């Protein structure tokens, strides 16, 4: 199966000032604090999540994925990770659980043979932090 | 890795070489001078507005102008000027011809790096990454292929413009190993903001190894960076070169990636020595797998970012000459990225 | 007893004279009345033009400020997408360009147009229609230029427009053309204003207001206008060169064909650095005047201050290359420019300490202007100090083109120009509004602006040290800039809030009025606070000191009762008193033109001409150009008409002076001289460009055409020169009678000969194979001819105009201003033509 990238018209107009990841995180924390979380949602560990975002930034996950809270880059080779925690299966294949996700982030081809996502230069703890961030993304 | 290059302490005040070090001392003195004079003016204003009458009377005459506006700045400025001129002189020592030579060409929006031997012949091509040995004076021959750019590694030296039709010279020297960020400092249109590079200073032995490996891998016969009459600190290639590294066998996906690289159009703009890819418009990718950054100093370089870059470079650095290869399936991009990452 | 013009100073003792009849005021009111309704647009009086001018420049300040806020939002955090890359690049280019060309220079010029006649007690500036033209050209051209932003065609090459980035290859769109033609056009307006101000300051001062008694603002405006006249030609020339390179492919800046991109930088900064002082000096003049009224005492060190103004103007022409330290100039050059950059800060220091000493010697009132003035001194000093820092080459090479420079220039410009301007708004608004601005609100506005300014720009010094370059639409995360940039953004909104509050104050309190004014709220001592109407003051007082209102408490009443010069309108038309340049002795009465739609039409069609060229609608452009020229001639048509029945009039106290004169005493003679200096500077800059390109790329130089041909051209120009003189001589010989055709025909012959010799020059170079598109030499040699072509075309138009005037019997004998101007202009053309022909044909040829 060959996956194709769908090219969207790049956002050229005036967007809203996405005030940085710090702002996004704060907003996230506030929103999730006010709201009764649905039972299916895993409550993120906020320290891990903010470490995770910093790592995402540093490693450059954005080169392929659009990730909420990350202003740049917003690569379109891989799927957008907005609303990630609502996705039932990782890569349409694996159960969406933190441990599995961390392992997938670190070495996707080992977890799901044939995945085009390459292994990432991350330790297990770092991958877990990134997974924590991805679960914290609230897209509702 | 990249983020450690900037921030605190500010690179301008954190010299890593003899040229920037002198400027740092000057910067501190100038900052102190500015602070003192600002204080003097603020205090004088306070006296003029709210001060006691006795002080006001002393201040309120033409003598104030002669002292504060003419004599004091005259002396301070003269001293600074003499110091500045002497420093300018010492920073622009004449070229002896024994320095290491590297040509850096500003292009929209990346840096072509060419290591030269002492005859000015190109020994090796690179891009966006400059490797120098510590404690060796290096003369950079700067020019531009299109518009005016400016070369700046604040840790090592002040900036120098890269002007089409001219070659400007800049001396740099690092006195400690490290990775130092650099940027284009002259507005050059479009994604000027995302035009950077890194300078890597190695211990001389380590640098020698680095250079020799590449030179052999290139299969070039020229000895790098001068042969006999080069300053003592300069490494010279001699008989005890490390054993030649056997080329990695290209198999499986990487082999497919290599074939794709040649067929989908990459080779028209990029050169990979030892292959039929011979394009000169874009950065030389001969050793791309060993570079620290992608996209001219803006992304870390690994398989994942390489894929993202090939697949959608326009989303990462809008406006650049390289198109997004978004019509290729991800598997093909992965294969090409895999092959490129093997080009150490 | 000494005198400049033979005027006996003892005559001043006749004033104040008797009280004059009140009917004369009615007469003045009738003569100076402004047109009603839409007709107001044809008004030329400085009370209106000056106010519109200030208002328009303030509008551009707001617009450019909004662009700045947009940029600050984009830079609040790394890698945002508030402004896409190309929009941001247009924003920062427009912010710089609009602030420099559409706000700062016009704003100070506008304040000059508004205040100078009042401060000098002149009825109006000497060329009211020229002011009107300058204003309308700026208004129409500026707005059209700004609107390019809304269609995405705004320039995006930076306000400095360095080629090759701005050349056709790398900027193929119309964006750069908007800059080149738009700015080229607005420069014409700035120069028109400068001509006006030079002649106004030197020739329309109140009697006995010697140079030593001029308000400091008048001194500053004089230096300002002279600097414009000398500096703007450089940018006019370089915009022409680049536009011609873009449109016709003449390689001035293309290194592959013997051009050089650095030529642009030399020409641009030869203008660009004086530009900074052009903006600062008038504001410094305002500061000196305001400091005096804030401290209620004479300015300390008046003469030192004058010296400082003149020295600043002088030295500022020798510092341009300090913008180019990073271009690998020889150490000798950088040393010189570094020294000059240090030196230029001395006069600024003198002024700062003059102000401090003045404040200390008086009693400072805690008013809004006082707040802004003191805030300005602090801020400007800090900017000046960072200026000294970057004057040292090794340090400059580190911080050049980083946010350190952004901080430096905003400290200098906001501290040196914007704060003084707000102080001036509060000080002089009562002069032109029926209600003063709120002093209480003003202090709030000051503290918001002052705080905002420092919160925005102080962190930028550090941002620069951290390695953040200028002109970046974004920056990468994790470089340590994030917090500093966010702070700057917050600061910029505090600054913006201050300006918003000022708009509120304006809306609540400012009521423009020419009839009533809120009066001398801050008790200034200079003449603009005399009671006045559209005709300015009822009578023009004799000035005995620098603060006449303080020294003679009765002066307001005396002026109002008509007890000084020109208490009425002796000629029955608009007029003002022309005085001598140094001692301001009354010389003659100048007749002034009244309202006219033609300056407005000329401005609109000049704007149409330039905009059509920009969008390459050449036919429509030519159409607009012809109408613009016609409009100019039409407005001139009504001028220069001496009153046959009145050769001399009584200007009060029984003193008789002539009405309208020609020759070196006339104000028109002075204006033409200024114009010739402008043209001469353009030619001089072109000569520099020629020599520079030769120095860089001598290999593209070829041997010139034969010496015989050169001699022929020079000979023809000599004949043309002689013809202009013969024409005037014949006119003089016919004194008392009719002019007949010979005088103007000789001028026409001269103009035609000049056209012919230019044609010879051009074909001569073509015959030996020189082509403008092929080499740097071809481009610059043909450029010299283009410049000569311009003055020849103007000469031809002038000669034809002279013919028309003769046909209508307007060519009075033995001399008249029109003849004088035409003959001298054509003579200038002949001399310029000779110089520009000889340069490439003799000097360094081959």
In a domain, A57, yes or no: yes
Give the angle B77-B80-B83 at the CA atoms, nearest 5°.
150
One domain for residues B86 and B104: no
Asked if B187's CB is within 8 angstroms of C158's CB, the reply is yes
Asked if C826 and C798 count as a contact pair (C-beta separation under 8 A), the reply is yes
pTM (whole model) above 0.80: yes
- Strand segments, DSSP code E, in chain B are 100-107, 110-116, 122-127, 129-133, 138-144, 149-152, 160-162, 168-172, 178-184, 196-202, 293-294, 299-300
**A101 pLDDT more than 50:** yes
pLDDT digits (tens, 9 = 90+) for C504-529: 999 999 999 887 888 888 888 899 99
Q: Chain B residues with CB inside 8 Å of C84's CB?
A: 318
In a domain, A56, yes or no: yes
Give which of C70, C71, C75, C81 to mutate to test A binding, by max A Cβ within 10 Å. Answer: C81
One domain for residues B64 and B122: no
**C267 pLDDT more than 70:** yes
Tell me how far the alpha carbon of residue C349 is from its chain's centroid.
Answer: 25
Output the pLDDT for position C592. Answer: 87
| Nearest CB neighbour to C357, from listed B34, B64, B196 | B64
Answer positive or negative: Cα dihedral of C98, C99, C104, C107: positive
| Nearest CB neighbour to B163, from listed C262, C464, C476 | C262
pLDDT digits (tens, 9 = 90+) for A47-57: 888 889 888 98
Output the pLDDT for position C736. Answer: 79
Give the angle C724-C729-C732 at the CA atoms, nearest 5°.
130
Q: Chain A residues with CB inside 8 Å of C481's CB?
A: none
Output the pLDDT for position A47. Answer: 85
C505: its two tokens: 């104050």
| Nearest CB neighbour to B316, from listed A5, A73, A121 | A73
**C645 pLDDT more than 90:** no
**A16 pLDDT more than 60:** no
**What is the domain partition of chain C in residue ranges?**
44-509, 705-842
In a domain, A2, yes or no: no
pLDDT digits (tens, 9 = 90+) for C573-632: 888 999 999 999 999 898 888 899 999 999 999 999 988 988 888 899 999 999 999 999
One domain for residues B288 and B309: yes
Asked if C84's CB is within 8 angstroms of A72's CB, the reply is no
In a domain, B147, yes or no: yes
Give which of C80, C480, C490 to mutate to test A binding, by max A Cβ within 10 Å. Answer: C80
For residue C325, what is the nearest residue in chain B, using CA coordinates?
A: B160
Output the pLDDT for position A78. Answer: 87
Give which of A60, A81, A104 to mutate to test B binding, by max B Cβ within 10 Å. Answer: A60
pLDDT digits (tens, 9 = 90+) for C292-325: 999 999 999 999 999 999 999 999 999 998 899 9
Cα separation, C288 vs C281, whole angstroms: 10
* Nearest CA-CA distance, residue A78 and chain C, Å: 20
For residue A105, what is the nearest residue in chain B, using CA coordinates?
A: B304
Cα separation, C742 vs C803, whole angstroms: 10
Output the pLDDT for position C773. Answer: 94
One domain for residues B35 and B121: no
Asked if C388's CB is within 8 angstroms of B77's CB, the reply is yes
Query: Interface partners of A (3+ CB pairs, < 8 Å)?
Result: B, C
In a domain, B223, yes or no: no
Domain that holds residue A79: 21-31+42-136
Higher pLDDT, C391 or A24: C391
| Nearest CB neighbour to A71, from listed C79, C84, C87 | C79
**A104 pLDDT more than 80:** yes
Cα separation, C785 vs C829, whole angstroms: 12
One domain for residues B55 and B145: no
Asked if A10's CB is within 8 angstroms of B330's CB, the reply is no
Output the pLDDT for position C644. Answer: 67
Q: What is the DSSP letter of C570?
A: T
**C198 pLDDT more than 90:** yes
Annotate C407-437 with b (16+ C-beta within 10 A) or e (fewer). Answer: bbbbbbbbbbbbbbbbbbbbbbbbbbbbebb
Asked if A11's CB is within 8 angstroms of C81's CB, the reply is yes
Asked if A17's CB is within 8 angstroms of C79's CB, the reply is no
In a domain, B276, yes or no: yes
In a domain, B231, yes or no: no
CATH code, B272: 2.60.40.420
Asked if C730 and C746 count as a contact pair (C-beta separation under 8 A), the reply is yes
Structurally, what CATH architecture does the domain formed by C44-509 represent?
Up-down Bundle (1.20)
Output the pLDDT for position B4. Answer: 43
Per DSSP, the residues of B254-283 read HHHHHHHHHHSSHHHH-B-TTSS-B--SS-
Determine contact: B319 vs chain C, CB below 8 A. yes
Asked if A118's CB is within 8 angstroms of B312's CB, the reply is no
Asked if C361's CB is within 8 angstroms of B61's CB, the reply is yes
Q: Chain B residues with CB inside 8 Å of A76's CB?
A: 311-312, 315, 324, 326
Taking a contact as any Cβ pair under 8 Å apart, which residues of chain B between 269 and 308 contact chain A?
294, 299-300, 302-305, 307-308
- Contact residues for C470 (Cβ-Cβ < 8 A; gap 6+): B185, B187, C401, C402, C403, C405, C406
Output the pLDDT for position A44. Answer: 57
Output the pLDDT for position C799. Answer: 95
Cα separation, C704 vs C806, whole angstroms: 42
pLDDT tens series, chain B, 344 aa: 344 445 678 889 999 999 999 999 999 999 999 999 999 999 999 999 998 999 999 898 889 999 999 999 999 999 999 999 988 888 877 777 778 889 999 999 999 999 887 777 888 889 999 999 999 889 999 999 999 999 999 999 999 999 999 999 999 999 999 999 999 999 999 999 999 999 999 998 898 888 877 764 443 433 444 433 333 233 333 334 343 344 455 667 889 999 999 999 899 999 998 888 989 999 999 899 999 999 999 999 999 999 999 999 999 999 999 999 988 998 999 999 999 998 88
> Per mean pLDDT, which range of C27-41, C159-173, C704-718 is the poorest?
C27-41
pLDDT digits (tens, 9 = 90+) for C142-194: 999 999 999 989 999 999 999 999 999 999 989 999 999 888 878 888 999 99
Mean pLDDT for the stretch of residues C228-246: 94
Q: If you search the block for the tokens 């039932």, which residue do you land on? A: A88
One domain for residues B213 and B304: no
pLDDT digits (tens, 9 = 90+) for C647-701: 888 888 888 888 877 777 788 888 899 999 999 999 999 999 999 999 998 889 9
> Per mean pLDDT, which range of B134-143, C335-344, C564-573 is the poorest?
C564-573
Q: Which of A127, A106, A108 is nearest to A116 (CA)?
A: A108
Output the pLDDT for position C520. Answer: 86
Q: Which of C453, C364, C373 is nearest to C421 (CA)?
A: C373
Output the pLDDT for position A25. Answer: 44
For residue C329, what is the nearest residue in chain B, using CA coordinates?
A: B168
Output the pLDDT for position C598. Answer: 92
As for the ipTM of the complex, it is: 0.92
Output the pLDDT for position B317. Answer: 93
Q: How far is CA C826 from CA B82, B99, C799, in A?
A: 50, 61, 9
Give the number of domains in chain B. Answer: 3
Give the number of domains in chain A. Answer: 1
pLDDT digits (tens, 9 = 90+) for C406-458: 999 999 999 999 999 999 999 999 999 989 999 999 999 999 999 999 999 99
Taking a contact as any Cβ pair under 8 Å apart, which residues of chain B between 120 and 159 contact chain C?
146-148, 150, 152, 154, 157-159
Cα separation, B10 vs C463, whole angstroms: 8
Give which of C163, C312, C385, C398 to mutate to test B binding, by max B Cβ within 10 Å. Answer: C398
**C27 pLDDT more than 50:** yes
Output the pLDDT for position C271. Answer: 93
Average pLDDT of chain C, as a whole number: 92
Cα separation, C642 vs B243, whole angstroms: 100
* Nearest CA-CA distance, residue B76 and chain C, Å: 10
**A87 pLDDT more than 80:** no
One domain for residues B141 and B116: yes
Cα separation, C222 vs C714, whole angstroms: 37
- Contact residues for C214 (Cβ-Cβ < 8 A; gap 6+): C120, C201, C205
| Nearest CB neighbour to C79, from listed A11, A14, A72 | A72
B203: its two tokens: 């211990």
Domain that holds residue B284: 252-341
| Nearest CB neighbour to B305, from listed A10, A60, A119 | A60
Determine contact: B12 vs chain C, CB below 8 A. yes
Determine contact: C482 vs chain A, CB below 8 A. yes
* Nearest CA-CA distance, residue A24 and chain B, Å: 21
**C94 pLDDT more than 60:** yes
In a domain, A16, yes or no: no
**A91 pLDDT more than 80:** no
One domain for residues B84 and B122: no
List residues bridging with B141 in a β-sheet.
B103, B169
Asked if C309 and C284 count as a contact pair (C-beta separation under 8 A), the reply is yes
User: C705-842 has which CATH code?
Assistant: 1.20.120
CATH code, A94: 1.10.760.10
In a domain, B68, yes or no: yes
Taking a contact as any Cβ pair under 8 Å apart, which residues of chain A between 33 and 72 contact chain B?
58-64, 72
For residue B63, what is the nearest residue in chain C, using CA coordinates?
A: C357
Cα separation, C783 vs C792, whole angstroms: 14
Boundary residue ending a domain (B91, B115, B149): B91
Boundary residue ending a domain (B63, B91, B119): B91
Boundary residue ending a domain (B218, B237, B262): B218
| CB-defined contacts B:C, below 8 A | 283
pLDDT band at residue A119 using 50, 70 and 90 as cut-offs? confident
């Amino acid at each position: 199966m060959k996956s194709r990238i769908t090219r969207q018209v790049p956002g050229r107009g005036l967007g809203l000032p996405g005030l940085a990841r710090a702002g996004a995180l704060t907003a996230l924390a506030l929103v999730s604090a006010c709201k009764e979380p649905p039972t299916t949602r895993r409550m993120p560990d906020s320290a891990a999540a903010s470490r995770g975002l910093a790592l995402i930034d540093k490693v450059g996950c954005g080169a392929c994925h659009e990730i909420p809270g990350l202003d740049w880059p917003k690569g379109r080779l891989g799927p957008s990770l907005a609303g990630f925690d609502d996705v039932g299966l990782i890569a349409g294949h694996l159960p969406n659980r933190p441990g599995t996700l961390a392992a997938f982030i670190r070495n996707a081809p080992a977890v799901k043979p044939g995945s085009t996502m390459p292994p990432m230069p991350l330790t297990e703890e770092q991958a877990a932090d990134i997974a924590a961030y991805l679960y914290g993304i609230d897209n509702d | 890795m990249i983020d450690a290059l900037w921030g605190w302490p500010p690179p301008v005040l954190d010299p890593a070489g003899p040229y920037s070090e002198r400027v740092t001392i000057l910067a501190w003195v100038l900052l102190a001078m500015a602070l003192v004079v600002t204080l003097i003016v603020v205090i004088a204003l306070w006296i003029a507005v709210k001060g006691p009458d006795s002080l006001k009377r002393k201040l309120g005459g033409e003598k104030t102008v002669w002292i504060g506006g003419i004599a004091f700045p005259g002396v301070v400025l003269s001293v600074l000027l003499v110091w500045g001129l002497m420093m300018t002189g010492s920073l622009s020592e004449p070229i002896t011809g024994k320095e290491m030579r590297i040509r850096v060409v500003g292009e929209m929006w990346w840096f072509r790096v060419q290591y030269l031997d002492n005859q000015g012949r190109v020994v090796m091509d690179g891009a966006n990454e400059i490797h120098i040995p510590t404690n060796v004076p290096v003369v950079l021959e700067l020019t531009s292929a299109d518009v005016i750019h400016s070369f700046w590694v604040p840790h090592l030296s002040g900036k120098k413009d890269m002007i089409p039709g001219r070659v400007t010279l800049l001396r740099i020297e690092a006195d400690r190993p490290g990775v130092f960020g650099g940027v284009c400092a002259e507005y050059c249109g479009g994604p000027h903001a995302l035009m950077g590079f890194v300078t890597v200073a190695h211990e001389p032995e380590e640098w020698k190894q680095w250079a020799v490996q590449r030179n052999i891998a290139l299969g070039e016969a020229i000895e790098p960076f001068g042969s006999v009459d080069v300053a003592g600190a300069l490494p010279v290639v001699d008989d005890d070169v490390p054993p030649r590294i056997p080329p990695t066998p290209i198999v499986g996906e990487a082999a497919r990636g290599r074939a794709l690289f040649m067929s989908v159009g990459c080779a028209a703009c990029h050169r990979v020595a030892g292959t039929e890819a011979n394009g000169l418009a874009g950065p030389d990718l001969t050793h791309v797998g060993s570079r620290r950054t992608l996209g001219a100093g803006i992304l870390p370089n690994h398989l994942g970012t390489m894929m993202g870059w090939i697949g959608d470079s326009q989303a990462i650095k809008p406006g650049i000459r390289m198109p997004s290869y978004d019509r290729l399936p991800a598997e093909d991009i992965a294969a090409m990225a895999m092959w490129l990452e093997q080009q150490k | 007893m000494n005198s400049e013009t033979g005027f006996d100073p003892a005559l001043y003792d006749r004033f104040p004279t008797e009280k004059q009849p009140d009917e004369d005021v009615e007469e003045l009111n009738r003569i100076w009345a402004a047109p009603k309704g839409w007709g107001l647009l044809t008004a030329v009086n400085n009370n209106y033009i000056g106010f519109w001018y200030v208002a328009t420049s303030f509008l551009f300040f707001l617009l450019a400020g909004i662009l700045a806020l947009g940029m600050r939002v984009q830079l609040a955090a790394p890698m945002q997408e508030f402004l896409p890359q190309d929009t941001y690049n247009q924003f920062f280019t427009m912010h710089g360009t609009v602030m420099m060309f559409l706000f700062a220079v016009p704003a100070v010029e506008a304040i000059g147009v508004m205040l100078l006649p009042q401060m000098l007690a002149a009825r109006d500036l000497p060329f009211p229609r020229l002011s009107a033209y300058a204003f309308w050209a700026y208004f129409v051209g500026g707005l059209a230029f700004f609107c390019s932003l809304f269609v995405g065609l705004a320039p995006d090459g930076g306000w400095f427009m360095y080629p090759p980035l701005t050349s056709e290859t790398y900027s193929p769109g119309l964006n750069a053309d908007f800059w080149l033609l738009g700015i080229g056009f607005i420069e014409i307006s700035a120069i028109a204003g400068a001509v006006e101000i030079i002649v106004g300051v030197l020739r329309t001062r109140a009697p006995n207001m010697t140079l030593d008694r001029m308000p400091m603002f008048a001194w500053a405006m004089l230096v300002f206008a002279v600097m414009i006249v000398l500096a703007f030609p450089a940018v006019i020339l370089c915009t022409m060169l680049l536009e011609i390179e873009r449109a016709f492919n003449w390689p001035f800046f293309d290194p592959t064909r013997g051009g050089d991109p650095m030529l642009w930088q030399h020409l641009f900064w030869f203008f660009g650095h004086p530009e900074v002082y052009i903006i600062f000096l008038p504001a410094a003049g305002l500061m000196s005047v305001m400091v005096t009224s804030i401290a209620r005492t004479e300015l300390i060190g008046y003469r030192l201050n004058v010296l400082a103004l003149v020295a600043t103007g002088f030295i500022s022409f020798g510092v341009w290359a300090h913008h180019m330290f990073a271009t690998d100039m020889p150490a000798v050059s950088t040393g010189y420019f570094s020294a000059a950059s240090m030196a230029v800060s001395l006069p600024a220091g003198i002024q700062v300490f003059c102000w401090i000493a003045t404040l200390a010697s008086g009693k400072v009132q805690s008013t809004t202007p006082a707040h802004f003035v003191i805030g300005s001194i602090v801020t400007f000093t800090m900017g000046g100090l960072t200026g000294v820092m970057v004057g040292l080459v090794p340090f400059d090479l580190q911080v050049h083109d980083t946010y350190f420079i952004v901080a430096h220039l905003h400290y200098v410009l906001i501290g040196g120009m914007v704060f003084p301007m707000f102080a001036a708004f509060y000080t002089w608004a009562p002069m032109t509004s029926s209600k003063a601005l709120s002093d209480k609100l003003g202090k709030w506005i000051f503290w918001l602006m002052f705080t905002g300014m420092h919160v925005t720009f102080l962190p930028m010094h550090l941002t620069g040290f951290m390695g953040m370059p200028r002109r970046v639409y974004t920056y990468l995360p994790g470089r340590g800039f994030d917090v500093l940039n966010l702070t700057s953004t917050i600061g910029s909104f505090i600054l913006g809030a201050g300006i918003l509050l000022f708009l509120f104050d304006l809306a609540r309190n400012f009521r423009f009025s020419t009839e009533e004014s809120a009066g001398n709220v801050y008790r200034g001592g200079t003449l603009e606070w005399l009671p006045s109407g559209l005709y300015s003051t009822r009578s023009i007082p004799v000035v005995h000191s620098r603060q006449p209102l303080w020294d003679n408490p009765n002066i307001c009443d005396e002026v109002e009762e008509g007890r000084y010069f020109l208490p009425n309108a002796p000629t029955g038309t608009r007029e003002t008193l022309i005085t001598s340049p140094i001692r301001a002795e009354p010389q003659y009465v100048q007749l002034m033109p009244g309202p006219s739609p033609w300056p407005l039409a000329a401005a609109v069609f000049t704007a149409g001409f330039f905009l059509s060229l920009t969008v390459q609608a050449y036919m429509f452009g030519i159409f607009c150009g012809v109408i613009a020229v016609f409009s100019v001639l039409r407005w001139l048509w009504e001028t220069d008409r001496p009153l046959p029945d009145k050769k001399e009039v009584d200007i009060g106290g029984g003193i008789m002076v002539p009405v309208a004169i020609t020759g070196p005493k006339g104000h028109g003679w002075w204006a033409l001289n200024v114009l010739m200096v402008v043209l001469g500077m353009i030619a001089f800059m072109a000569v520099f460009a020629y020599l520079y390109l030769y120095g860089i790329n001598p290999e593209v130089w070829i041997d010139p055409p034969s010496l015989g041909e050169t001699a022929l051209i020079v000979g023809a120009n000599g004949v043309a020169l002689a013809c202009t003189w013969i024409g005037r001589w014949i006119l003089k010989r016919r004194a008392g009678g009719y002019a007949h055709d010979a005088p103007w025909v000789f001028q026409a012959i001269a103009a035609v000969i000049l056209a012919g010799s230019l044609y010879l020059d051009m074909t001569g170079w073509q015959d030996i194979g020189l082509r403008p598109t092929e080499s740097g030499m071809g481009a610059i040699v043909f450029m010299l001819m283009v410049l000569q072509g311009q003055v020849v075309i103007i000469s031809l138009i002038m000669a034809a105009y002279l013919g028309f005037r003769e046909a209508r019997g307007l060519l009075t004998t033995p001399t008249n201003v029109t003849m004088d101007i035409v003959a001298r202009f054509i003579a200038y053309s002949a001399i310029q033509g000779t110089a520009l022909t000889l340069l490439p044909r003799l000097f360094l040829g081959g």
